[in-house]
Amino acid sequence: MFGATYLGWLHVHVMWLQESQRGQGYGSELLAVAEAEGLRRGCKQSYVETLSFQALPFYEKCGYKVFSRLPDSPPGGARYALTKSLA
């Protein structure tokens, strides 16, 4: 995982687990630790982007809400921007 905190936001830039580690709760746990650190640093919101063929259901399951969808990016897919309130 790679992210940053600034201006009251936690921005998760990259989050990736090996295929063999997915579906075991590691991703949810890792994201929860990052969100807790964001809160500790004074963040009120979290932001992440994902592609339609990647982790959209995962982030929604973790409480993130889609606020933007860019169609055909990449061609045949879509890019999503999601936020979650941490406060």
CATH number at residue 63: 3.40.630.30
Residue 22, pLDDT > 90, answer: no
Specify the number of domains making up the chain: 1
Q: What is the pLDDT of residues 32-76, one digit of tens each?
A: 999 999 999 999 999 999 998 889 999 999 999 999 999 999 899
Residue labelled with tokens 């933007």: 68
- pLDDT computed for residue 19 by the predictor: 86
CB 48 within 8 A of CB 64: yes
User: H-helix or E-strand containing 25?
Assistant: none
User: Domain residues for 39?
Assistant: 2-85
Tally of CB atoms within 10 A around 85? 10
- pLDDT computed for residue 53 by the predictor: 87
- pLDDT computed for residue 34 by the predictor: 97
Q: Which of 41, 50, 48 lies closest to 87, judged by CA?
A: 41
- pLDDT computed for residue 6 by the predictor: 96
What residue type is 54 in one-letter code? Q
Residue 28, pLDDT > 90, answer: yes
